Chains A and B, each alone.
Chain A
Amino acid sequence: KAGVTQTPRYLIKTRGQQVTLSCSPISGHRSVSWYQQTPGQGLQFLFEYFSETQRNKGNFPGRFSGRQFSNSRSEMNVSTLELGDSALYLCASCPTSGRADYNEQFFGPGTRLTVL
């Protein structure tokens, strides 16, 4: 099975611009979660989508949004970029919703976003 794929792998934007990141989960996985990773901060949860519905949301401003399509692919959008948004954005998929007793998350390689 192919792993989780994310595009693009690297992105450079300037303040005020917007960006859309894409994530394709492992075939058959219906849950996609997004995380922001910065040095020293660890992984910060953005949101989880399951069957096209947002099931959970972290404490990020409304500039961060996402959606999931019927084929389980997911996109994340950040509007009005700020310097502090520079980070590695990871998506992870798993077969079931996070409410299953056991759900190992499979991570993609991430998108490295740099905001200048």
Chain B
Amino acid sequence: GQNIDQPTEMTATEGAIVQINCTYQTSGFNGLFWYQQHAGEAPTFLSYNVLDGLEEKGRFSSFLSRSKGYSYLLLKELQMKDSASYLCAVRDSNYQLIWGAGTKLIIKP
């Protein structure tokens, strides 16, 4: 079967750095996405990785290792507005997106 694993919940302090991990086992790989979802709102796109390595976009970075079936999302200089769920999704050989259950990130002052 296909599986995406993420921690259920994480807590971090405002101004700090947090790393959210995602491991996957899918039938094929055609890219990995990270989305942010605030409570009661729709998911919004954060990043896309298809090749190994780090993609940096402002305070957010995403890393991919295809050989290890592993990705992480790194959030720097945390702000209270970063409190949200972070969803990892992998596009499989059929170009279907397989989603993790999401990581709820709680930011404390």
Question: Do A and B come from the same complex?
Answer: yes
CB neighbours of B89 from chain A (8 A):
43
Once the chains bind, are B98 and A45 in contact (CB under 8 Å)? yes
Least CB separation from B43: chain A residue? A107
Partner-binding segment picked from B13-21, B58-66, B73-81, B99-107: B99-107
Contact with B along A97-114 (1 / 0, CB 8 A): 111011011111110000
| Interface presence of B94 (CB below 8 A) | yes
Once the chains bind, are A42 and B97 in contact (CB under 8 Å)? no
| Interface presence of A41 (CB below 8 A) | yes
A interface SS class: loop
Bound CA–CA A102/B91 (angstroms): 10
Once the chains bind, are A42 and B99 in contact (CB under 8 Å)? yes
Once the chains bind, are A98 and B42 in contact (CB under 8 Å)? no
Once the chains bind, are B44 and A102 in contact (CB under 8 Å)? no
| Interface presence of A26 (CB below 8 A) | no
* B window 39-66: CB within 8 A of A: 41-45, 48, 50
Q: Output the residue of A41, A90, A104 with the most chain B CB within 10 A.
A: A104
Once the chains bind, are B95 and A98 in contact (CB under 8 Å)? yes
| A45-B96, A105-B33 known, 15 other contacts, Cβ within 8 Å | A40-B101, A41-B101, A42-B4, A42-B102, A43-B43, A43-B89, A45-B97, A56-B94, A90-B43, A98-B95, A98-B97, A102-B48, A104-B33, A105-B97, A107-B44
Which 6 A-B pairs rank lowest in CB-CB distance, beginning with the nearest? Answer: A107-B42, A42-B101, A43-B99, A98-B95, A104-B45, A42-B99
